[in-house]
Structure 1
């Protein structure tokens, strides 16, 4: 069995609360991601999925357990060591309107991460990056405010690709977009993965979305992974009651099909509750 690109083992994340009490939000989570694979973490708001992503990125504390990348521990490492792996692990955030500096041109936005790690000739790569995400070369001279939400997210993806990372953490990258634009961005992510071999940790509250992009899916509930498996299995034959509930919550365009699906899921839920 090949060594995973990223491995999260028994991850616990705690935050200080009132009167000195500690609040534990992630409870012993374990999973791994292979090179070129998409693993999605799906769960409702507050389930802890974004906190896991932030712990991997070094933006949230790891209280217990380990995060390893290419067999090297990266949890709770120094800022200097974190900067060294910045070329290999990048992120695309949820909101394309706030994740880009409005005072910078697209060219400067794309060059910034390259200059931060001392890569020379970064400006020559701008056209290549824009082409990779389907934006014209003239976009380089414009500002984020001149683009639509979907175009801004393409710019954010281009910025994440600038350092040719092995892993991109995609934190709800389509939730702020309309359905049509969402589909285009998901298609773009898949095309980029096929051409570059990048791996994704895809974080979402929408099981319907992750079904389109995932190789495997982990279902998160109250800070724990309650189901982890191949995407087809989780989406068509889920084993956990909470996964069934997420299935019923996913929107369907046809109202009749939506009613039929919910009726079917309710029967499955009743059977699950009745089982010993």
Structure 2
């Protein structure tokens, strides 16, 4: 792992104190190289989003280390976190609530540039709109004038504004229909080829994660139970819990789907 990527070692996140203390991330270790996508998949409550929040400095790290571009960022003070925000950005799940409805798209995209002291922010906004496939006049409009897929493109543009090295994609397609999902995933792949940014792609859907990831880490109850190459983990999973997630991915044939549903139920009953 080079010094230019992300390295997480034995990460632990806990809430509460003493007897009421609950550990929600339990010794997670992972690495993401520049230009690579690590997919993190697991059911609701598995700790996926909490790990993303810990990388952003928004969740209490109880143990372990987070190193990004050769710097230990585990416990950076707030004053130094602002500088780090240039390099680690996030695309949230819900494109309807993640954009300020009272601001124009141009103002939404200029805001992080202004905070970072970028002089020619308006020129950068035009570049961003083109990069995510939106027309120049989109900047003059408000979020409620756009579809869900278009709003997520705007959210991606905002994440790209400061040319980050790592983008955390937290369920970025789960609120979209299948056709729009495919377009947004294609956009993310193209942007990665153009920029060389690394992605941590978080989802509950193993099928979606497989589409965009080089490697996959499977999270269950705050711990990684399987990790490996995207195709291997998706098609030939070693852990029973991963097989359960695989069986949850829908298929067109109703008979095959019924058998998959039954097999998944059996794994759940067996405690997988």
Q: If the length of structure 2 is used for normalisation, what is the TM-score?
A: 0.94
Report the 3-state secondary structure (helix = DSSP H, G, I; strand = E; otherwise coil) of the residue aligned with 1:63: strand
Query: What's 1:212 paired with?
Result: 211
Query: What's 1:28 paired with?
Result: 27
Query: What's 1:155 paired with?
Result: 154
**Alignment check: 8 A CA contact 1:4 1:32 kept:** no
Report the alpha carbon displacement of residue 154 of structure 1 after superposing the two structures with TM. Answer: 0.3
Query: What's 2:87 paired with?
Result: 88
- Number of residues of Structure 1 aligned to a counterpart in Structure 2: 269
Report the alpha carbon displacement of residue 251 of structure 1 after superposing the two structures with TM. Answer: 1.5
Query: What's 1:15 paired with?
Result: 15
Report the alpha carbon displacement of residue 257 of structure 1 after superposing the two structures with TM. Answer: 3.8
Query: What's 1:232 paired with?
Result: 231
Query: What's 1:135 paired with?
Result: 134
The whole-number CA distance in structure 1 between the counterparts of 2:115 and 2:15 is 30
Within a 5 Å distance, the mapping from 1:92-111 to structure 2 comes to 92-111=91-110
Report the alpha carbon displacement of residue 266 of structure 1 after superposing the two structures with TM. Answer: 8.4
Query: What's 1:73 paired with?
Result: 72
The whole-number CA distance in structure 1 between the counterparts of 2:48 and 2:254 is 30
Query: Which runs of 5 or more residues in structure 1 are unaligned?
Result: none
Aligned-pair RMSD on alpha carbons?
1.9
**Alignment check: 8 A CA contact 1:114 1:122 kept:** yes
Query: What's 2:40 paired with?
Result: 41
**Alignment check: 8 A CA contact 1:106 1:139 kept:** yes
Within a 5 Å distance, the mapping from 1:152-231 to structure 2 comes to 152-231=151-230
Report the 3-state secondary structure (helix = DSSP H, G, I; strand = E; otherwise coil) of the residue aligned with 1:238: coil
The whole-number CA distance in structure 2 between the counterparts of 1:255 and 1:191 is 34
Report the alpha carbon displacement of residue 119 of structure 1 after superposing the two structures with TM. Answer: 1.0
Query: What's 2:59 paired with?
Result: 60
The whole-number CA distance in structure 2 between the counterparts of 1:180 and 1:79 is 40
- Residues 3 and 256 (structure 1), Cα distance of their counterparts in 2 relative to 1, 3 Å cut: farther
The whole-number CA distance in structure 1 between the counterparts of 2:65 and 2:204 is 25
Report the alpha carbon displacement of residue 132 of structure 1 after superposing the two structures with TM. Answer: 0.5
1:114 and 2:108 equivalent?
no
After superposing the two structures, state which structure 1 stretch, 3-12 or 149-158, moved more: 3-12
The whole-number CA distance in structure 2 between the counterparts of 1:4 and 1:130 is 28
